[in-house]
Amino acid sequence: MDFIFVLPLFFFLSVWFGINFYIGKRLFQTLKYILPKVNGKIFVLFYTILAMPLLFAFMPSVPFDLVYSLYFLAMGGFGLFVFVAVLLSLVGLFVIFNKDKSITEETKRKAHKKLAPHLAKKAFIIMASLFILPITIELISMMPNDIIYFMRVFGAYWLSFFIYLLALIIFVDFVIFVGRKLKLISVEILRKARFYAMSAVLVLNCIIVGYGLYNFTQIRVAIYEVQLLRPLAGEPMTIVFLSDLHLGEVHSERRLGRIVDEINSLNPDIVTLIGDIFNDDFYIIRNPGRAAEILRGIDSTFGVFACLGNHDAGSTVGSMMGFLEYSDITLLNEEHVIIDERLVLIGRLDPYPLGGFGDMRRGDLSIILDAVHADKRSSNLYNLPIVVIDHNPSNIPEYGSEIDLALFGHTHRGQLFPGSLITSAIHILDHGHLQKNETSPHFIVTQGIHTWLMPMRVGTNNEIGKVAVR
């Protein structure tokens, strides 16, 4: 089964090496313009140390032994490819040299003397540099958890700086390429033009990242008021909803107390956590006992309810469910509950869990609704409005007039601009409120209360939703 991961892992690492080489080269060119005697080898060593934690931002919950074994498996195949490529190159050059009569004997002798060792040296450097990564991962896996966490934090912040830096450098290179093609930038001024462009890129990148890091610390409350298809009996109910806590991500636990205080300030009747409460692996939560204690502080009239998202899955899903129970949070896995004899709440499983939910599977909505109607009949309760919590808004088409309100998360609204343009294009609704027509359910998608990979928000917000239902 592990072989399935080899190709994506190899692709990811290849892209990672390529992008870092590209950015590192541009940064070195900029540095060399002002410090002509800067040592290239020292710069490469420094940049490698700087870039290595980036992997831990991308792979915070992948077991080290799996990364290590899969990497060696992938690199073993790549090593064979390099060996064969070098061998074929030598054979091909040998044939060319010996058949081409225009090449002098002296040239052939020099080529045979220098070419083979040169190719062998390059192949060795390539293979040696590729194997630095798994050896480093193996060493890091033996370090204390606090050091690993520090590397994840450092990697997350470096990624925050890295992602817009890459986009801006690509843009500058494109402008320079067009300028050279149109003969607006000559060879003589190319180095100077690249230096000033890169200086502007670094300043602009710092401004964007600084704003994004600040915006991450803010919490926005999105307020809605909804008239349900089947009116709620009695006084309106306040449902406070949030998604994507991503417990285990950088700063997720540190912000938890403030999030709970914000929830309580909204005086909720019901609180719902709409998936991605965890970040793939329960055991990357640094202090689960303290996190559970904070979550038990949520003050809600009728309780706190949750459904599982795509990151609330994998081999530790049992521990995740135990944590929610210990935190006084009722988990609804393809189940429903009648609240105050006035409203039905249904919780759905995500259809695309990363690692699966064990024996649990997302079922057919009609089966759940049959159970809801049976429960209402047995309790002599009829025409109760139905609210659904479902992590992924790609499931919106499943819901028709039998549902009054459906709440979603997952999208983060792209988290970083222009990611919001992508989520808007692929989802019917990536944030906010939608009712298609008068007989359609109300759909609300929240942007999420936390972030993924990077503690940064550009053009989006960390958000808690509050909806008054009538």
223-258: per-residue pLDDT in tens? 999 999 999 999 999 999 999 999 999 999 999 999
pLDDT confidence bin for 90, thresholds 50/70/90 = low
pLDDT at 3: 47
Q: What is the pLDDT of residue 448?
A: 97
Average pLDDT score over residue span 22-38: 90
The phi-psi region of residue 459 (left if phi > 0; otherwise alpha if psi is between -120 and 50; otherwise beta) is: left
Q: Tell me, what's the pLDDT at 188?
A: 80
Burial zone of 163 (CB within 10 Å; 0-12 exposed, 13-18 middle, 19+ buried):
buried
389: left (phi over 0), alpha (psi -120 to 50) or beta: beta
CA–CA distance, 409 with 281 (Å, rounded to integer): 19
What number is the average pLDDT over the span 21-47? Answer: 88
Helices 105-141 & 145-181, crossing angle to 10 degrees?
Answer: 140
303-334 residue pLDDT tens: 999 999 999 999 999 999 999 999 999 999 99
pLDDT at residue 368, as a whole number: 96
Q: What is the pLDDT of residue 282?
A: 94
Q: What is the pLDDT of residues 146-202, one digit of tens each?
A: 777 887 888 889 889 999 999 999 999 999 999 988 888 888 888 898 999 999 999
The pLDDT assigned to 84 comes to 57
pLDDT above 70 as % of the chain:
78
pLDDT in tens, 337-346: 999 999 999 9
How many angstroms separate the CA atoms of 44 and 28, rounded?
9
User: pLDDT at position 63, please?
Assistant: 45
User: Which has more pLDDT, 197 or 9?
Assistant: 197
Q: Residue 65: pLDDT above 50? A: no
375-398: per-residue pLDDT in tens?
988 888 888 999 999 999 999 999
Q: How far from 110 is each of 123, 211, 318, CA to CA, in Å?
A: 20, 58, 67
**What is the pLDDT, as a whole number, of residue 190?**
86
What is the reported pLDDT for 46?
Answer: 86
221-469 CATH choice from 3.40.190.290, 3.30.420.40, 3.60.21.10, 1.20.1260.10: 3.60.21.10
Report the pLDDT value the prediction gives residue 103, as an integer from 0 to 100. Answer: 56
Token pair of 372 as six digits: 């809801």
pLDDT at 2: 45
Can you read off the two tokens belonging to residue 446? Answer: 């929240």
Question: Can you tell me the distance from the alpha carbon of 78 to that of 351, in angstroms, rounded to the nearest whole number?
Answer: 35
Report residue 10's pLDDT band, with 50, 70 and 90 as the boundaries.
low
Binned at pLDDT 50, 70 and 90, residue 405 comes out as very high
Q: What is the pLDDT of residue 320?
A: 97
Q: Which residue has the higher pLDDT, 77 or 440?
A: 440
Confidence of residue 60 (pLDDT cuts 50, 70, 90): very low
Residue spans of the domains in the chain: they are: 2-215, 221-469
What's the predicted TM-score (pTM) here? 0.83
Question: Which residues contact residue 341 at a Cβ distance below 8 angstroms, ignoring those fewer than 6 apart?
Answer: 379, 381, 384
Q: What is the mean predicted confidence (pLDDT) over 454-468?
A: 97
Task: Quote the pLDDT of residue 123.
Answer: 60
pLDDT tens digits for 114-144? 655 666 665 666 556 555 555 665 666 666 7
